[in-house]
Amino acid sequence: MSSSCADPASSASSHNPSATMKDVSNSALHKHSRASLIYPKKRPSPHGISKPHKTPLLLPPRGPARKTPRSAKSALIQQRQRESQIQALRQQGILLEEEYRDEIRGYMHDMERFTMSSIQSMDQQPEIRWHMRPCLVDFLVEIHFTFRLRPETLYLTLNIVDRYVSRRIVYIKHYQLVGCAALWIAAKFEDAKERVPTVQDLAQICRDTYDESAFIQMEGHVLSTIQWTLGHPTAEAWLRLMCVGPCVEDAKVQHVARFLMEITLFYREFVKFSPSSIALAALTLARFLCGKARRMWEETEECFDIVDYLDTRLAKHVNDLSETLVKKYSYAFYSKAATFVVQYYLQGGRYVRPTSLPMTPIRSPASTISTPMSTSSMSTTVSDESDDFPRHSYDARVPE
């Protein structure tokens, strides 16, 4: 009687096992959906395999050791200084590409050998003597500074004069005319058009000693004598190439080096050296005077010879330097380089040529190694004044 009164659905489910499993799965799916709403499940792996969460093994780096924050900061500052110097050169129309640095240096070495003067031929001049050269150079430095010409212009001017004097007989009355014509040619080659002095300016500077037509005639004669070759790599060009290399030089070292390079224009013993050697020697001596570290990979015997010549002349004749040159480099615009160098040598300072230590140390009988060491420190004080480039001009005088 009771079996007949039972629910047919329940009785069917009790006798049907598949229906029972379906009800259980529906109930489990309902509970899982509710739980997923409360506790969202993590995204499964795309390959259907859960990845183990383990701490990764830290391996030592295969490359070079990491830089410390201090070294990385100094390298970054040096790189920025180098980029700023290259950008400043580009604003002046000087292009410097790192990709072609070696090719450029090779071409400059070839050109400086091709455009060197002959000191033996200059010694054979019948009237021109070497004691007259400082007067002409002082006169040209004054004109160059008055017209605000580029530094390369001055060095190219003296190179043109020396090459002309090496091939032609020059009389005393034409020596100043040759210098003015060479300056005129160099300014046209190196400087902007608005800075090039006119023929009227040159005639007025020479106190009307020569006619205006004489400058034009001498210009053509000089160009034909040097075969129109004006691409001379000057010491200034070499100095700029050295100062924007891997080691960037500060402004004071560069100004002291420029002052020393212009001193070499006055005297005979420096004419035989190449501009690259003069620039390297001036930079080496400037770094020593300013207390900077050596660059042993750049130093050569010819460089040391020039440094010895400069050091000896400054030690014995520092009071005989050109007043025009000393005044030019005494401004804060040039870091008072002349004042710094003159005071150093007036106080008895001298350049100490470094001695290379032996590769294999020699042991004494007592099995002790003795290596003599010499330390020299220079206290440099940079001027606190920062005035602008001097605006006044000199009154050009005719050298007597």
What are the domain boundaries of the chain? 118-232, 235-346
Q: Is 286 exposed, middle or buried (0-12, 13-18, 19+ CB in 10 A)?
A: buried
Q: How many residues are present in the chain? A: 400
Residue ranges of alpha helices (H) inside 191-250 are 199-205, 212-225, 235-243
Rounded Cα–Cα distance for residues 378 and 78 (Å): 23
Average pLDDT, the chain: 78
Summarize the confidence of residues 60-69 as an average pLDDT.
55
Position 85, amino acid: Q
pLDDT of residue 79: 60
pLDDT of residue 72: 66
Instruction: Say whether pLDDT at 397 is over 50.
Output: no
Instruction: Say whether pLDDT at 391 is over 90.
Output: no
- Do the domains 118-232 and 235-346 sit in the same CATH topology, yes or no? yes
The architecture of the domain spanning 118-232 is: Orthogonal Bundle (1.10)
- Position 387 confidence tier, pLDDT thresholds 50, 70, 90: very low
Residue ranges of alpha helices (H) inside the chain are 2-5, 8-15, 17-38, 69-91, 101-114, 119-123, 133-146, 151-167, 172-190, 199-205, 212-225, 235-243, 251-263, 275-289, 301-317, 323-328, 337-346
Angstrom CA distances, 174 to 14, 110, 171, 338, stand at: 134, 32, 5, 32
Summarize the confidence of residues 53-70 as an average pLDDT.
53
pLDDT of residue 248: 72
Name the pTM for this structure. 0.68
Q: What fold, for 235-346?
A: Cyclin A; domain 1 (1.10.472)
Q: Are 182 and 153 in contact (CB under 8 A)?
A: no
Residue ranges of alpha helices (H) inside 232-378 are 235-243, 251-263, 275-289, 301-317, 323-328, 337-346
